[in-house]
Structure 1
Amino acid sequence: MLEPVAQRTTVYDVAERAGVSIATVSYTFRQPDRVRPETRELVLRAARDLGYVPSGSARGLANGRSQALGLYAFDMFLPSDLSAPRRSLDELVQWELDGLGNVRRFPLYVDEIQRGFELEARRLGRSVMLGSGASRDSLDSIDLAGSVDGLAIFPGAAARDLLEHVGRGVPVVIFSSPPMNDALHHITVDNEGAVRDLVDHLVDRHGHRSVAFLGELAAPDIGARFAGFQAALAAHGLPVPEEPFDTTVLTEDSLRTLRDAITSGDLPDALVCATDQLALTVLDLLAQHGVRVPDDVAVTGFDGIIAGRLSDPTLTTVRQPFASMGRLAVRILTDTAAGLAHPKSYVLPTRVVIGGSCGCG
């Protein structure tokens, strides 16, 4: 006959044993400085006697909150990572020890924002729950929203109405999303101004007159960068394209327009790439075809990931304040959950970082 499963000790049991309220038990484990030393010792002794281990939900019983924050990504992995064949553990270990492409895959901008998010959550005594991979068209599988006090999202191609639906239950912050007329909080950077500065550098400093933009416009931040590119060309009296030179995505068949231009010998003077990851792929492709950077063509990126600093030549790019974006999201979520007001949108500054890929250095 099976033995009955022992019932788990709860915060109520500890409170009853110690003769205190459940709020006092919660503060003892979550904010011990708020509890008198003698009371705290009483609660801890009761917890030890009962074998009580506090859970995230128990910590929030005093105020109806979980004390956890969520960070969710829809599709922030590289296509090459998602389509890679399954390898044995020995192969994976050897691949990693050999350093084959590691710096190209980690850390990316999502990883650096996550680091800032986790650091600020730790500072405030909050735990972090991570999630990823739900359908773009349905948030039914995101149990995370019902388990946290606030949720920060890398939206990918998620429908706006679905994000707003989540925002009706908990505070929501969306990264890399421009201000919109909705109830969500948005954190982005000055994408347009940054690309204008980048184009100004290519035209004024290097004298380039044929400048092309590469990138897919589906993401709102990439669209803003292209708008800045168009505005900069117009300000310099240069022809303004209606669409990017190459609306590429990072797949095996990507950069077809660029490949055709290489083959025909009709490359622009400079290539302004929507992201660093795209710019690094462009550098590889150009090198494979014997095109010298920056002698034959200048290349720039956007993000400021570590891989760009280690490339040869080093990448001229725009650096985003990733960690600060993550930290700000935590502050917005915790303050909003506590009933404090926050602006709905933040636009953080960027900085142009000059490397060798534009011809400087």
Structure 2
Amino acid sequence: MADVAARAGVSHQTVSRVLNGSPRVAPDTRERVVQAIRDLGYRRNVAARALVTARSATLGVITSSSVLYGPTSTLIAVEEAAREQGWFTSVAAIGTYDAEAVHHVLEHFMSQAVEGVVVIAPQEDVGRAIDAFDAPIPVVLIAARESTVERTIPLAVDHAAGAALVVEHLLELGHESVLHVAGPQDWFDAQQRLAGWRAALTDHGAPVPDPVIADWSADRGHEIGRELVERIAAGHGPTAVFAANDQLALGLVRAFWEAGVRIPEDVSLVGFDDVEGAGQFIPPLTTVRQPFAELGRRSVELLFEAVAGGSPQGALIPPELIVRSSTAPPRARRR
């Protein structure tokens, strides 16, 4: 830093302000310092800085070792948001969600002196394990549930609101009701999507059929689709189906195609997530888009506020319904 200061003709303190993003530096001075840094190839020694400041500028992230779209997209968004703020992330992917495994990871983070932890916790077991761990640092829990632990800050996409958007869209098209192919009910996201679907139908005075409980896979969607085909062919099947994620919807699409059931002429179909390529389904899939970038940015903001001594409140981030060609009025209404 002394070499940079000498080359730029400024003080050591000015170089420090530039490196830390302080607004108290004139633009031309800032440019001279930045150019000197480029010329000298200067890089901050993070380990040395941590020793001096007692700050690691590192966040821990706990996530699932699965490659499911939602948790993976959330992880990427958190890492990008932290990096944009000059912070590092230490990631731990776990395959089991028992308390011992989660506590082991949290203790590992404590030994790295991370300043906060983001937990991508879509499942009940993870939520319980986090609640049972008395972390001395702030924790942002990305899960569609509340937390009663003082230093744990809940943050999530509003999955119930997303499901309500689906139901309202289909009812406005003229469908009398909507069948829900639900995700696994030990996942908070799936619980909230089912609750939002049921509440929206009830609020509109529409019949509430028994949901079909599934996992998140296209294979299971295909199996369920084959069962629904027989009901649709007999004339007493659903005219609209809401799948809890786009993979389930993909399996349904194949089952309907194999049986000659047309989307949306015979049945309207909606997914959830807006995965890459959802617009290339045949037909392009109407689905709920999760704002993963916003989720990552907000999680980092909440941690920074907590690390700085604030008392941030949890939040629900609204999703967006993306209407494509897989939904239309039922056949009776089109006539």
Which band: TM-score by shorter chain?
Answer: 0.7 to 0.9
Distance in 1, matches of 2:43 and 2:133, equals 31
Amino acid at match of 2:156: T
Amino acid at match of 2:293: A
Q: Which runs of 5+ in 1 are unaligned?
A: 1-23, 79-107
**1:163-215 residue CA offsets vs partner (Å, 9 max, x unmatched):** 1345613211122322232331111122222222211211122x212421012
**Residue equivalent to 1:68:** 58
Distance in 1, matches of 2:255 and 2:197, equals 23
Give how far 1:254 is off: 5.6
**1:213-239 residue CA offsets vs partner (Å, 9 max, x unmatched):** 012222112211111111222233222
**Residue equivalent to 2:185:** 217
SS of aligned partner of 2:51: coil
**Residue equivalent to 1:296:** 266
- Spell out the pairing of 1:142-157 with structure 2 (5 A cutoff): 143-147=108-112, 148-157=114-123
Structure 1 residue 117 corresponds to structure 2 residue 87 = no
Amino acid at match of 1:354: V
Give how far 1:287 is off: 2.2
**1:251-281 residue CA offsets vs partner (Å, 9 max, x unmatched):** 7556544422224535311110112232223
- Spell out the pairing of 1:1-361 with structure 2 (5 A cutoff): 31=20, 56-78=46-68, 108-137=69-98, 138-139=101-102, 140-141=104-105, 143-147=108-112, 148-157=114-123, 158-166=125-133, 168-183=135-150, 184-205=152-173, 207-215=174-182, 216-241=184-209, 243-250=210-217, 252=219, 256-264=223-231, 265=233, 267-343=237-313, 345-359=314-328
**1:234-255 residue CA offsets vs partner (Å, 9 max, x unmatched):** 23322224x5224334275565
Contact 1:109-1:303 at 8 Å conserved across structures: yes
Give how far 1:55 is off: 5.9
Choose 319-328 or 307-316, whichever is displaced more. 307-316
Distance in 2, matches of 1:165 and 1:62, equals 33
Give how far 1:120 is off: 2.5
Distance in 2, matches of 1:251 and 1:312, equals 15
Distance in 2, matches of 1:333 and 1:136, equals 23
**Residue equivalent to 1:96:** none
Change (3 A) 1:109 1:68: same
Contact 2:170-2:327 at 8 Å conserved across structures: yes
Distance in 1, matches of 2:48 and 2:308, equals 18
Amino acid at match of 2:158: D
Contact 1:190-1:349 at 8 Å conserved across structures: yes
Amino acid at match of 1:353: I
Change (3 A) 1:75 1:66: same
**1:79-113 residue CA offsets vs partner (Å, 9 max, x unmatched):** xxxxxxxxxxxxxxxxxxxxxxxxxxxxx333443
SS of aligned partner of 2:52: coil
SS of aligned partner of 1:208: coil
SS of aligned partner of 2:136: coil
SS of aligned partner of 2:212: coil
Using the size of structure 2 for normalisation, the TM-score is 0.76
Choose 246-255 or 160-169, whichever is displaced more. 246-255
Give how far 1:299 is off: 0.7
**Residue equivalent to 1:93:** none
Aligned length: 299
Using the size of structure 1 for normalisation, the TM-score is 0.71
Distance in 2, matches of 1:238 and 1:57, equals 61
Amino acid at match of 2:160: E
Amino acid at match of 1:152: V
SS of aligned partner of 1:225: helix
Contact 1:71-1:152 at 8 Å conserved across structures: yes
**Residue equivalent to 1:86:** none
Runs of 4+ in structure 1 deviating by more than 4 angstroms, as ranges, are 27-30, 32-37, 52-57, 251-255
Distance in 2, matches of 1:204 and 1:134, equals 42
Distance in 2, matches of 1:292 and 1:300, equals 14
Give how far 1:54 is off: 6.3
